[in-house]
Amino acid sequence: MPTGACGINCDVCRLRLLGTCSSCGSGKSAQAKKKLEAQKKIIGGNCIILECACTKNKEFCLRDCDRFPCENFTIGPYPFSQGFLSMQERRRGDRPPALNHHETLIIVPDEYWDRLCERDINKLCNLTLTEPFTADSSIPRGLIVHFLNEDIFVDFKERCLRRKQNNQWENTDDKLLELVTLLYLTNVKKLHPIGKEIVSTKDLKEAHFFKGEHKLKLAPLLERFGNDMEGFKTAAAFLEGTSVEMADAAYCLLPFPRIPLYYLYWKGDKEFKTKISVLFDRSIEAYFSADGIWGLVNLVSLALIRGNVEPY
């Protein structure tokens, strides 16, 4: 259930769409007990409102407790206080969990880095329109990839990805970004023309993959922008997307310089619901298998949901 015991409706919260946070659940729910356990581990204590609701077996304080509003609400920072707003601001800056289509954490195999480090950096840059990273040495130690609206340093020597913060390249533990970047850089073998054929998942060679739990994860995107086409346009433009003549609103986004993704938005009306879909250039099959395409779309969709904020 998306509504917490205190009355906060997590169903309309962006943190839930991103997968960064989950609802506390009602005071009678198993979800609440799990949340209390997690709070003890993470912050060393519990939300007194949730703990009280669980102890007194009340689903929702506002509806079920005769003592509402009690001192738990008047003395604490929650809900709807500066503490809540500060938490939102802080957690919106966190990276969403890197999950695969089985909803388990992504682990990047070491052999992916082994394969990448065997490649010639200069040749790889020519194939991908990336730049060699030389720093103070004439010998490249990696390359710079432009991902959506930011530069990512792929550090061959330290085997990690780095983002620039305060004019310094800082290590970023973003497993989904690391995975799709390594897949692309290890699989690219030659230049493929782009723009000749735009296809949907139904047209791909591995079309059978994108069914059931493997269906593209677009529901959170639709929840965020279903009634906000202008917000969709703003988010896509922030990610350096280029407007294209498709649907009611459509943008070509470039997670990598030669890998276009086309996000299409059809505005709903009385007869039809709002729809968001993704199209691809046929050449994407030369670089990614079906599960790699799924991960890439998920990564870009999360960036759209995150919206007009600076990169992590």
Omega before 140 within 30 of 0, i.e. cis: no
Q: Going edge to edge, which strands form the sheet with 150-155?
A: 131-133, 142-147, 150-155, 160-165, 168-172
The residue-averaged pLDDT of 3-11 equals 85
**H or E element, residue 113:** helix 110-117
Q: What range defines the domain where residue 288 resides?
A: 198-306
Residue at 5 is within a domain:
no
Per-residue model confidence (pLDDT) at position 77 = 66
208, 300: one domain: yes
Per-residue model confidence (pLDDT) at position 85 = 53
Per-residue model confidence (pLDDT) at position 219 = 94
Flag whether pLDDT at 40 surpasses 80: yes
- Which of 29, 58, 92 is the last residue in one of the domains? 92
The residue-averaged pLDDT of 90-97 equals 79
CATH number at residue 223: 3.30.310
238, 171: one domain: no
Per-residue model confidence (pLDDT) at position 46 = 84
Residue at 192 is within a domain:
no
Instruction: Indicate the range of 40-44, 214-218, 272-276 predicted with least confidence.
Output: 40-44
Q: Going edge to edge, which strands form the sheet with 198-199?
A: 198-199, 275-281, 259-266, 249-256, 242-243
228, 158: one domain: no
164, 219: one domain: no
Per-residue model confidence (pLDDT) at position 1 = 55
What are 280's strand-pairing partners? 199, 261
Number of separate domains in the chain: 3
227, 301: one domain: yes
181, 202: one domain: no
202, 182: one domain: no
**Average pLDDT value for the chain:** 88
Flag whether pLDDT at 136 surpasses 60: yes
CA atoms within 13 A on the CB side of 2: 9
Residue at 242 is within a domain:
yes
